Amino acid sequence: MQGLRISPGLLPPECERLRAEVRAFLADALAEVPRAQRVRNWSGSDPEFTRKMAQRGWIGMTWPRRYGGHERSSLERYVVLEEMLAAGAPVGAHWVADRQSGPLLMRFSPDVLAPRIVPQIVRGEAFFCIGMSEPDSGSDLASIRTRAVRTSDGWLINGRKVWTSRAHRAHYMIVLVRTGERGEDRHAGLSQLLLPMQTPGITVRPIVNQLGDHDFNEVTLDDVLVPHDHLIGAEGEGWRQVGTELAFERSGPERYLSSTQLLLEMLDAADADDPRHAVALGRVVAHYATMRQMSLGVAGMLARGENPALAAALVKDQGALVEQAMPDLAHDLFGDTVEPGSPLEQAMRYTTLAAPSFSLRGGTREILRGIIAKGLDLR
């Protein structure tokens, strides 16, 4: 049995010094941002804010200097991320690139694509979207139908991607395509390509979510041609590479810190003399403290170069449970008294509509539990 051990994380003193620096930066940078806007958390995006973070050296923090990175520790990066999320900073523009696209390029195209693209990410100038899901392939990515054919001029891509978050604002997509036949191994024949979003043949159509926001899209690819060297890693290795990418995607503190504004509003509105408030909010805060220890444990695993896939699946699954319970709790505690239009009411409204997606995006609850069960040799 592989077993599961997540050592509680401890932060060294340099992290606490950095935390003070980040808090001072946020107090200034977010001074004019109303509380109701902070509820969007990492779904909110502001390229100007991203550039300010880049100037501070807080994008590509752990990456090698040869790509423009800052060679700081994973734990220092963790502190920056958790402070950004706790404050509801609009970090969405660079989030995907910093979390997974940059690391993927450095690992699988270290000499060709990474030297060209990664410095742009570090400067806060290149935003990425994830081209995995398709209309009939979400959890079962092995069944994707978007196809790329090697021609003398480059890779010719045809197909359709869906639920592509921020494709309308991204400079690049990392697209999962079929380049060969499946054969007996249904995971064979997949590859990843770098797709500049201004390439002819790409059409991005908005899909408005139940909040009324335009966040994700349908992206159709009609005879889209990219150069041969836009292949990331090896042809046919897409399945293994996507596994690596998803481990990055699931390992961060955003998987339990998406709804911090609602928690802060509830704490603000709580009546210290009401035992119902004390018990219910005390329990949530205890859950947060536990999630934080587990999440820091995952950051520690990344720092030690260990594979955090199993632990990250557990943190994401449990984090979604904690966050999805919060809107009901808020309605139970404050539903009768909340003032219409107040920051608490706006946070309740937003989080009630946003929370169902927390156990879908980045892998559904059932898929994560399958990974956990497999990792524990339970299936």
Ligand X SMILES: Cc1cc2nc3c(=O)[nH]c(=O)nc-3n(C[C@H](O)[C@H](O)[C@H](O)COP(=O)(O)OP(=O)(O)OC[C@H]3O[C@@H](n4cnc5c(N)ncnc54)[C@H](O)[C@@H]3O)c2cc1C
Residue among 15, 156, 360, 376 that touches ligand X (CB under 6 A): 360
Residue among 267, 366, 373, 374 that touches ligand X (CB under 6 A): 366
**Angle, alpha carbons 273-276-282 (nearest 5°):** 90
Residue 67 interacts with ligand X (CB under 6 A)?
no
Q: Which of residues 149-178 bind ligand X (CB under 6 A)?
A: 163-165
Number of residues binding to ligand X, judged by CB under 6 A: 19
Closest to ligand X by CB, 118 vs 368, is: 368
Q: How far is the CB of 235 from ligand X (least distance, A)?
A: 21
Q: How far is the CB of 248 from ligand X (least distance, A)?
A: 14
* Site stretch for ligand X (CB under 6 A), options 2-10, 49-57, 324-332, 353-361: 353-361
CB atoms within 10 A of CB 65: 9
* Distances, alpha carbon 340 to alpha carbons 29, 78, 336, 345, in Å: 28, 36, 11, 6
Asked whether 82 and 16 are in contact (CB, 8 A), the reply is no
CB atoms within 10 A of CB 378: 10
Closest to ligand X by CB, 93 vs 129, is: 129
Q: Which of residues 195-224 bind ligand X (CB under 6 A)?
A: 216
**Angle, alpha carbons 65-66-72 (nearest 5°):** 20
Q: Which residues, 6+ apart, have CB-to-CB distance to 206 below 8 Å?
A: 168, 214, 217
Asked whether 326 and 351 are in contact (CB, 8 A), the reply is yes
Closest to ligand X by CB, 249 vs 265, is: 249
Closest to ligand X by CB, 110 vs 370, is: 370
In 197-338, beta strands by DSSP E: 202-208, 214-226, 231-232
- C-alpha count within 13 angstroms, C-beta hemisphere, residue 364: 8
Q: How far is the CB of 129 from ligand X (least distance, A)?
A: 6
Q: How far is the CB of 192 from ligand X (least distance, A)?
A: 12
Separation of alpha carbons 127 and 102, rounded Å = 10
Residue 361 interacts with ligand X (CB under 6 A)?
yes
Please give the backbone phi and psi of residue 130, each rounded to the nearest 5 degrees, phi first. Answer: -110, 115
* Site stretch for ligand X (CB under 6 A), options 2-10, 335-343, 358-366, 371-379: 358-366
Q: Which residues, 6+ apart, have CB-to-CB distance to 182 below 8 Å?
A: 142, 188, 189
Closest to ligand X by CB, 219 vs 226, is: 219
Separation of alpha carbons 328 and 352, rounded Å = 8
Closest to ligand X by CB, 79 vs 132, is: 132
**In the complex, residue closest to ligand X by CB:** 138
Separation of alpha carbons 255 and 244, rounded Å = 17
Binding string, residues 122-151; x marks residues near ligand X by CB under 6 A: -------xxxxx----xx------------
Closest to ligand X by CB, 139 vs 151, is: 139
Closest to ligand X by CB, 130 vs 348, is: 130
Q: Which of residues 234-253 bind ligand X (CB under 6 A)?
A: none
Closest to ligand X by CB, 165 vs 324, is: 165
How is 161-205 classified by DSSP, letter by letter?
A: EES-TTTTT-SEEEEEEE-S--TTSTTTTEEEEEEETTSTTEEEE
* Site stretch for ligand X (CB under 6 A), options 100-108, 235-243, 293-301, 356-364: 356-364
Q: How far is the CB of 269 from ligand X (least distance, A)?
A: 28
Nearest CA-CA partner of 83 in 56, 106, 103:
56
Secondary element (H or E) of residue 25: helix 13-29
Residue among 367, 371, 372, 375 that touches ligand X (CB under 6 A): 367
Binding stretches for ligand X (CB under 6 A): 129-133, 138-139, 163-165, 216, 357, 360-361, 363-364, 366-367, 370
